[in-house]
Amino acid sequence: MTAYADESAARLLIVRTARSLFTRGLTHGSTGNLSVRLTDGSLLLTPTGSSLGTVQEADLSRTDLHGKHLDGPRPTKEAFLHAAFYRARPGAHAVVHLHSTHAAAVSCLASVDPANVLPPLTAYYAMRVGALPLLPYHAPGDGSLEPLAERTARTHRAVLLANHGPVVAGASMEQAADAIEELEETAKLHLLLRGHGTRPLTPEQAAALAPTSP
């Protein structure tokens, strides 16, 4: 997969994915943001204050790889997170950030391993997400998170922001959306199983399925 060459098609893809995520309850209100990388190196992102349920193709913002606003409406205040992932992962061409309920709930738990928040309960989680580090709490839009996000993204395609939600990169929008949905479902399973003995994949089983770049 290469960066998106057809800007019109990329805009349609963002809006179609946004609408799907919203209508299926994976985000709510004006939370969450999506982006893709174009072949000229610029990024198309959902704008600040927009709802993924109503955003339109003409509403999208464009920034460079350092978050500088190039044209369109003002981008999401978390544009720096998207830019950090793209700089860290050259093979990534889409980034999805949601405040999905179960993943956000896990991000608030005290009893998690910050190096790897969720156990590999299913093979598909191990394949699509892999290890999931928890980044410490920063207020939404706090740019001081950017260096840590970029460093972490060099070795992880997904992170969970404490008291906030997940960010996932993929080679395509479809791959990133599939992975963040798998992450949400695994967070749901994790919460359903709390207090019960579980049998996650062994380290060897999970390593055999671990995702590779992007």
Cite the active site residues.
Answer: 78, 124
The type of residue at 204 is E
Per DSSP, the residues of 94-129 read: EEEE---HHHHHHTT-SSS-TT--S---SHHHHHHT
Across-strand partners of 135? 161
Contact present, 94 and 168 (Cβ < 8 Å): no
Longest dimension (CA), the chain: 52
How far apart (Å, rounded) are the C-alpha atoms in residues 114 and 193? 19
- H/E segment holding residue 147: helix 146-153
